[in-house]
Amino acid sequence: MMRLHFEKGELVGINDETFENPVNAIQHLQAMAAAYAIGRDIHVGDTIIGIKGRVGFEAAAPLIIIKAHHLLEKHVLTKWQQYWKEQLGNWYGMLVHEGQFLEPVLRNVEKFLEDTQEHVTGEVIVELMPYRFVLQGIKSPFDLMASEFGSYGEMNKGYTGEDVKGFSKMLSNQVMIYNKVKEKNEQA
């Protein structure tokens, strides 16, 4: 098992070793994971000139870091932070790929993306195996799945059954009105 330590979205440590420079952490992880032949793949994508392109690569460390970071984000970001980070991140990546890195709106998006990383701090437990890896879990002081709020599939400590009934009724109100109006007009 390996423990990746993130602080404000950056990889800062592996197991008990801390790195001042994230590049050194990435290189260290690459050396560890490459021995397992992790991260070998072929990418097919659209090029800026309108044709498909293909490139073979081996990127064990980036693949592990991206997946580990994403798991940590799933635990510490809200649903809407995750949604908009993904939308803006994809759009940002497309613009950079197309050479639009001087477009001022990218600076705005960068501020949002940086801000989402404020609580992406913690440890991700990773198991390396030949040709693959498994994320075993996370530990973070900002974990929104903390047991103090409830246990998945068992109970939630934040609301009662009556609260759920009221919420469900309110949430479905617009659809209920829509269907009643539709039914009324179909009968007319």
Q: What's the pLDDT tens digit per position in 90-109?
A: 999 999 988 999 999 999 99
- pLDDT tens digits, one per residue of 120-155: 999 999 999 999 999 999 999 999 987 776 665 556
Q: Please state the domain extents for the chain.
A: 2-77+119-157, 163-188
Residues 6+ apart with CB under 8 A from 23: none
pTM: 0.79
Specify the pLDDT at position 175. 84
pLDDT lower than 70: segments of the chain: 149-157
Tell me, what's the pLDDT at 167? 84
Q: How far from chain centre, in Å, is Cα 142? A: 15
Q: What is the pLDDT of residue 186?
A: 86
CATH number for region 2-77+119-157 = 3.90.1260.10
Distance CA 13, CA 4 (A): 6
At 104, the amino acid letter reads P
Q: What is the pLDDT of residue 101?
A: 94
Nearest Cα residue to 57 out of 40, 38, 32, 37: 40
> Distances from the Cα of 77 to the Cαs of 18, 42, 119, in angstroms?
25, 31, 8
